[in-house]
Structure 1
Amino acid sequence: MRITRLLFFVFLLTPYVVLAQTKDVLFTIDSHPYYTDEFVRVYNKNLDLVKDDSQKNLDNYLELYIGYKLKVEKAYKIGLQNGANYQNELKSYRTQLSKNYLSDSKVTNELVQEAYDRLLQEIRASHILVLVDENAAPEDTLKAYQKITDIKKRIESGEDFIKVAQQFSEDPSVKENNGDLGYFSAFRMVYPFENAAFSTSVGKVSKAFRTRFGYHIVKVVDKRANRGEVTVAHIMILKPASVSDKPSPNPEDKAKVTIEDIYKKIQQGESFESLAQQFSEDKSSAPKGGVLQRFGSGQLSSEEFENVAFSLKNINDISAPFQSQFGWHIIKLIEKHTVRTLADMKTELEEKVKKDERSLLISNSLAKKLRSTYSLSKDQKALAAVKKILTNDFYAQTWEVPSNSKDFEKPILVINKKKSIAVTPFLNFIQAQQKSNLKIKPLSKLVDVLFEKFIDEQVTAYYNENLENEFPEFRYVMDEYRDGLLLFDLMDREIWTRAKSDTIGIQDFYKNHLVNYQWKKRFGVDILSSTDQSVIEKAKQLMKKGKSLEVIKEKLNTEGKVNIMLKSGVFEEDDALLSSFKNVTKGVSGIVLKDNYYFILNVTEVKEAGPKLFTECKGKVMSDYQQFLESNWVNELKKEFEVKIQPDVFASIKKQLQQ
């Protein structure tokens, strides 16, 4: 994600203590002044987070800081701040950041309690969706609402919910799940959907309701206590890709045999973790003994896997092999996690509440407080004029703002004697409210209700627009993010894209730095392992006689017992297992005991150390080339821009910071 890379540039957004109370010019870039207060603030924020002690040195840090600002100046010089993507992303970030300031603690606490109560339950539900964009035209909104209403009537008349879902639901996943969403709890669905599901009884169908996706109805199939979360380890043999010309035996049968052999090894007392490390084809969990991140109901894409995991009762219980859509698994229970107390979860829930649609309730509560803070001047004549303009077409969702009124530019609301809002925005607000399907009558009363909602929206917007003036820390964060975003775009243009497209330059860099791209000595090997020394000795003798791996396995894995396991591949000489052998050479090795397993190697190929082909290290070369380009970039910028440092001012800052 883009923000992840931005953290490389943006000076970290953490609380700070400003030691310098003065605001003097520390340096200029082409006459653009940069001040001491910002430099001191940023330095203090990063002081404990910088690992490189050289960057804590104030002289070195000033060089880094100037380099950073030179890049930002370059971005402004070439006009990156005018890009639509940049402006949209900056606006999006500000919207997210401002949510932390648009809160009401009482409402927040109520929403946290509601969320926690819901987290104690899990609901299984099916739904039917009629798609309509949240900004759709009134006629499209009405059409969608009528369609979901008709669907609801069919179900109420006795038609089967699943059959109706298959026929009418516009959720793309309905073809696979018949509208069944599985089990979920709080925060797993958008808030209006969650509300409908939790307020509907088991076996009942909700009223039609709207989310940002469209109109829904929900049938609640089951409610149960939250199963909590589990931590498990697993061994996985992937489902083989279908290949039409694959000779027998069937590759799916081979995967099943492999998982059953592994299960037999576990039943024989061998270590689950060691077997996972050796044979699991889940590359992300195998090195950790198969351990997965903890999860709850509905968080994985395999219901079969979840159900088996939650069916294990005691720590260290191990499941029999089972199949999912991804392959074959064996699961070991590591830990069960019950739902934590509200006190333990409160901070986490507050963050979640602020990030989803519940935050709208908090904003509405804030608006009431702002009304008592700001002075509001309402023009009753303008409001009366609006009441004459609005017609009954509003109820049919077909009313449009007239285009020929001379009164539209007159103010209808003034906030704090500073912000004047004309009639036109209110009329546009009214038109947009048609999709809410309000039935308030008469029209004059409807206008009064909508005007109060409009005032709430406007006072909150005014407050939001002035956050930089109200809260200095908000302004600092936005300034830093703005610079970081520009720098990301600049780096993408000047460094990353250039490195990708400069094929000649990158090839020359590869050749000139070939010493950095070298293979260590490598071995093509077959690895045989067993917990029984006598078995591994027999395997060694069979290997020396030239017997194939299949024959060795057939001879030694008898009577339903898996006595030996096989693995083949190419490994570098410092591989954890190979480094346990002395003088690895071509042919059959001696026996090595490691972690209660006996191992032998059959080295089939030896590849001497040497340079990697460009295709073998392309990613690393491109990364190194990017760093090379960037390291020379600041010097080029110093030639392009004039930098003037105020040495006396810097000396004063150094003295202050070193106290």
Structure 2
Amino acid sequence: MKMKQLLFGLFLSIGATTFAQNVQKEVLFTVNDKPYYTDEFARVYNKNLDLVKDESQKDLDQYLELFIGYKLKINKANKLGLQNGANYQSELKTYRAQLSKNYVTDSKVTKELVEEGYQRSQKEVKASHILITVDENAAPEDTLKAYNRISDLRKRALAGEDFGKLAQENSQDPSAKDNKGNLGYFSAFRMVYPFETAAFKTPKGQISNPVRTRFGYHIIKVDDVRDNRGEVQVAHIMILNPKPEEADQDKAKNTINDIYKKLQQGEKFEDLAKQFSEDKSSSSKGGQLSRFGSGQLSSEEFENTAFSLTKENPVSQPFQSKFGWHIVKLIERFPMKTFDEAKADLETKISKDERSRLIANSLNDKLRKKYNVKRDNKVYGKVVKAVTPDFYENKWSLPTDTKPTDAKLFAIQEKEFTGTDFLKYIQTRQKAGSGIRPASKMVDAFYESYLDEQLNAYYNDHLETEFPEFAAVMEEYRDGLLLFDLMEKEIWEKSKTDTLGLKNFYDTRKMNYQWKNRVDVVIASSTNEKAVKEAQKMLKKGSTPEQIKEKLNTKDKVDIMTNVGTFEEGNDALPKGLKFEAGVSDITKDGQYYFVTKVNKVLPAGVKTLEECKGKCINDYQQYLEQGWVDKLKGEFTVRVKQDAFERVKTALKK
């Protein structure tokens, strides 16, 4: 088993390791005085029990030998320094980063957000909004000014003023001048999260309280709520709307109507789209568009028409959108997915959405409580003084003398962070800039980010201490990587390149590599008995398989199939009951198929040449080398088994 993914199959299937609850942890054996414990042996044995097909490997005495051999190989790999290899270190780091994702997020919050996202995705909200922009880091007075303005607009809307007109005249969303704030229908994950939440929590016909997003303050009027229509895929033919200066304003309409008549006359939609559609991004594909849901296109007319199509009425009449005249053809409808089907996609969306901040913030809160960091405010005050307004001009640099800030600012358990460490962090943020003023408040914001980053890093670095199952998986993967590199070096490469050793191994065991009786044949088969009879005649005349297929098959229909080769007795490719004698057989039937076979040559049973059995022979040679190698390792390292501890493990595992 040479492929890395197969070698590690046992390790990666753990997920959450189950420990043998009734096995007391004690030293089971030592390799050069390095202890290996009963709990690890029991855990690995139980985990692999159902995966092992060889019954002898389920025997605990035999399994102990395998386990000791495994640990001897790991010790040899470490002795050779394979753990220091760059590729090994890189792959181990990559795997740890992947595995740690399950531990460095708040699974409870993630679960709640996935469930919320799925429930919201079942509905579509039609809403309008008014936006008053304000920067996320705006000064309090500017924030208050924006809030007061949006609150005043809400009061006017509640008092009966037309919401669309208020949006057109006051909203700082540029599109409001044309759409009067109307956003059409949308579902979950189509708007920024705070906006989405306000829209889904506001009853139909009502106006939300002011809601803050990264764009500013909004008020939202919910016009309608309906069930999600799912997604649809369509093709379309489009003729662009005429420009105002064009003389013939009806040309586009007349053209689309002519195309529609051609469709009614039986011409292919795809061909007409390629010839006439002025949507160049889709015309070459027969007008086909990517699948979409409500709110994903910028034309509500187009969406509504697309969703109105059915299998019985798959092609729309010509209609006009703000872009042009269209005819739309239904390709496929995609209904809403079940929760289980949608879960993985929802988790991905959440990781890229503002919701991810909620997950991160939840973990940050837990880590702050867990490690209870105490800040030295005297040192912090010196840090604040060291950061000048030059920061906003990208001209600030660390003080020449950092002694005042070299003292401990805070500590996470045993790890200390100085004021100067924090100043260096601030310096790395200078190019990105910050809109928070004055500088002291900016430093406060940076401190919160810095503390959270260090708490997360410390927590990540100590996952092995926090979670025994994580440590167990990492230990097994670490050993698995080493074992792969060691086997590559000591066994697999040797078995491939040691041609003399392989030849000697084959010569002493060639009777293990035997052919059964074989036949060199041409087999013709078909569900059409007449075609097989014709093939039988042609085989008797000496026709080749190619000649048979050329005569009996046509461009539109394949009547006969042939199979040529040398097959052993019992091979599924051979028709049942075939006689191992030269010549053309009688026609036989198996199920729906008729067969006729021409036996060119009968090859008697005999020993395979090395070339004929090379793959199997190399595999056996590898096992031979490995067994002898393990015996040598037992001489190289001192192994001492604690027999009394092993007896206790056996008793516990048999319960």
Shorter-chain-normalised TM-score: which range?
Answer: 0.5 to 0.7
- Once the two structures are TM-superposed, the CA of residue 464 in structure 1 deviates from its matched residue by 2.6
Question: In the alignment, is the contact (CA less than 8 A) between 1:379 and 1:412 conserved in 2?
Answer: yes
Work out which of the residue numbers 557, 565, 571 in structure 1 matches 2:560: 565
- Once the two structures are TM-superposed, the CA of residue 30 in structure 1 deviates from its matched residue by 1.7
In structure 2, distance between residues paired with 1:431 and 1:534: 86
SS at match of 1:59: helix
1:28 aligns with 2:30: yes
Question: In the alignment, is the contact (CA less than 8 A) between 1:26 and 1:649 conserved in 2?
Answer: yes
1:10-35 deviation line (CA, Å, top 9, x unaligned):
89565434345644333222222333
In structure 1, distance between residues paired with 2:50 and 2:542: 62
Work out which of the residue numbers 398, 403, 410 in structure 2 matches 1:413: 410
> Which amino acid letter does the alignment assign opposite residue 412 of structure 2?
I
Work out which of the residue numbers 364, 367, 370 in structure 2 matches 1:370: 367
In structure 1, distance between residues paired with 2:487 and 2:291: 42
How do residues 246-645 of structure 1 correspond to structure 2 at under 5 angstroms?
A: 339-342=336-339, 344-345=340-341, 348=344, 362-390=359-387, 405-407=402-404, 409-416=406-413, 418-434=414-430, 436=432, 438-547=434-543, 549=545, 552-553=548-549, 556-557=552-553, 562=557, 564-573=559-568, 574-604=570-600, 606-645=602-641
Q: Which runs of 5+ in 1 are unaligned?
A: 122-155, 157-184, 199-222, 229-295, 299-310, 315-334
In structure 2, distance between residues paired with 1:5 and 1:566: 40
Work out which of the residue numbers 60, 67, 70 in structure 1 matches 2:69: 67
- Once the two structures are TM-superposed, the CA of residue 547 in structure 1 deviates from its matched residue by 4.3
> Which amino acid letter does the alignment assign opposite residue 383 of structure 1?
Y
1:259-298 deviation line (CA, Å, top 9, x unaligned):
xxxxxxxxxxxxxxxxxxxxxxxxxxxxxxxxxxxxx989
Work out which of the residue numbers 71, 82, 85 in structure 2 matches 1:83: 85
Question: In the alignment, is the contact (CA less than 8 A) between 1:510 and 1:621 conserved in 2?
Answer: yes
In structure 1, distance between residues paired with 2:65 and 2:97: 33
> Which amino acid letter does the alignment assign opposite residue 377 of structure 1?
K
1:352-406 deviation line (CA, Å, top 9, x unaligned):
6799898676334201222233322223343344445446675576866567633
In structure 2, distance between residues paired with 1:646 and 1:350: 51
SS at match of 1:526: strand
- CA 1:11–1:372 in structure 2 vs 1: closer, same or farther (change >3 Å)? closer
- Once the two structures are TM-superposed, the CA of residue 631 in structure 1 deviates from its matched residue by 1.6
SS at match of 2:459: helix
In structure 1, distance between residues paired with 2:547 and 2:53: 56
In structure 1, distance between residues paired with 2:121 and 2:624: 51
SS at match of 1:378: coil
Question: In the alignment, is the contact (CA less than 8 A) between 1:20 and 1:37 conserved in 2?
Answer: no
- CA 1:557–1:484 in structure 2 vs 1: closer, same or farther (change >3 Å)? closer
In structure 1, distance between residues paired with 2:406 and 2:512: 69
Question: In the alignment, is the contact (CA less than 8 A) between 1:26 and 1:650 conserved in 2?
Answer: yes
In structure 1, distance between residues paired with 2:53 and 2:621: 24
In structure 2, distance between residues paired with 1:523 and 1:593: 20
- CA 1:12–1:502 in structure 2 vs 1: closer, same or farther (change >3 Å)? farther
In structure 2, distance between residues paired with 1:397 and 1:621: 69
> Which amino acid letter does the alignment assign opposite residue 528 of structure 1?
A
In structure 2, distance between residues paired with 1:352 and 1:410: 42
In structure 2, distance between residues paired with 1:562 and 1:11: 47
In structure 2, distance between residues paired with 1:551 and 1:3: 45
SS at match of 2:403: coil
In structure 2, distance between residues paired with 1:346 and 1:557: 46
In structure 1, distance between residues paired with 2:291 and 2:600: 47
- Once the two structures are TM-superposed, the CA of residue 455 in structure 1 deviates from its matched residue by 0.8
- Once the two structures are TM-superposed, the CA of residue 517 in structure 1 deviates from its matched residue by 4.0
In structure 2, distance between residues paired with 1:424 and 1:50: 56
In structure 2, distance between residues paired with 1:651 and 1:3: 34
- CA 1:553–1:648 in structure 2 vs 1: closer, same or farther (change >3 Å)? closer
- Once the two structures are TM-superposed, the CA of residue 456 in structure 1 deviates from its matched residue by 0.9
Aligned length: 467
SS at match of 2:28: strand
In structure 2, distance between residues paired with 1:442 and 1:31: 62
- Once the two structures are TM-superposed, the CA of residue 638 in structure 1 deviates from its matched residue by 0.9
In structure 2, distance between residues paired with 1:396 and 1:463: 35
- Once the two structures are TM-superposed, the CA of residue 114 in structure 1 deviates from its matched residue by 7.2
Task: Give the aligned partner of residue 175 of structure 1.
Answer: none
In structure 2, distance between residues paired with 1:612 and 1:336: 58
> Which amino acid letter does the alignment assign opposite residue 470 of structure 1?
E
Question: In the alignment, is the contact (CA less than 8 A) between 1:391 and 1:399 conserved in 2?
Answer: yes
- CA 1:61–1:312 in structure 2 vs 1: closer, same or farther (change >3 Å)? farther
- Once the two structures are TM-superposed, the CA of residue 452 in structure 1 deviates from its matched residue by 0.5
Question: In the alignment, is the contact (CA less than 8 A) between 1:553 and 1:565 conserved in 2?
Answer: yes
Question: In the alignment, is the contact (CA less than 8 A) between 1:20 and 1:36 conserved in 2?
Answer: no
Task: Give the aligned partner of residue 108 of structure 1.
Answer: 110
State which structure, 1 or 2, has the greater radius of gyration over its C-alpha atoms. 2
How do residues 218-237 of structure 1 correspond to structure 2 at under 5 angstroms?
A: 225-226=230-231
- Once the two structures are TM-superposed, the CA of residue 611 in structure 1 deviates from its matched residue by 4.8
1:471-521 deviation line (CA, Å, top 9, x unaligned):
333333333333333323322222223323333323332333333444445
How do residues 157-168 of structure 1 correspond to structure 2 at under 5 angstroms?
A: none
Q: Which runs of 5+ in 2 are unaligned?
A: 124-173, 175-186, 197-227, 234-289, 293-308, 313-331
- Once the two structures are TM-superposed, the CA of residue 593 in structure 1 deviates from its matched residue by 1.2
- Once the two structures are TM-superposed, the CA of residue 591 in structure 1 deviates from its matched residue by 0.8
In structure 2, distance between residues paired with 1:493 and 1:393: 58
TM-score, normalising length from structure 1? 0.60
- Once the two structures are TM-superposed, the CA of residue 96 in structure 1 deviates from its matched residue by 2.5
> Which amino acid letter does the alignment assign opposite residue 83 of structure 1?
G
Identity within the alignment, %: 47
Task: Give the aligned partner of residue 163 of structure 1.
Answer: none
In structure 2, distance between residues paired with 1:312 and 1:587: 60
SS at match of 2:363: helix
SS at match of 2:525: strand
In structure 2, distance between residues paired with 1:588 and 1:602: 4
Question: In the alignment, is the contact (CA less than 8 A) between 2:402 and 2:420 conserved in 1?
Answer: no
In structure 2, distance between residues paired with 1:43 and 1:5: 16
Question: In the alignment, is the contact (CA less than 8 A) between 2:522 and 2:563 conserved in 1?
Answer: yes
In structure 2, distance between residues paired with 1:313 and 1:522: 55
How do residues 643-654 of structure 1 correspond to structure 2 at under 5 angstroms?
A: 643-654=639-650
Task: Give the aligned partner of residue 273 of structure 2.
Answer: none
In structure 1, distance between residues paired with 2:543 and 2:564: 18
In structure 2, distance between residues paired with 1:562 and 1:465: 65
- CA 1:458–1:72 in structure 2 vs 1: closer, same or farther (change >3 Å)? same
TM-score, normalising length from structure 2? 0.60
Question: In the alignment, is the contact (CA less than 8 A) between 2:11 and 2:476 conserved in 1?
Answer: no
- Once the two structures are TM-superposed, the CA of residue 454 in structure 1 deviates from its matched residue by 0.8
Question: In the alignment, is the contact (CA less than 8 A) between 2:231 and 2:333 conserved in 1?
Answer: no
In structure 2, distance between residues paired with 1:590 and 1:194: 74
SS at match of 1:76: helix
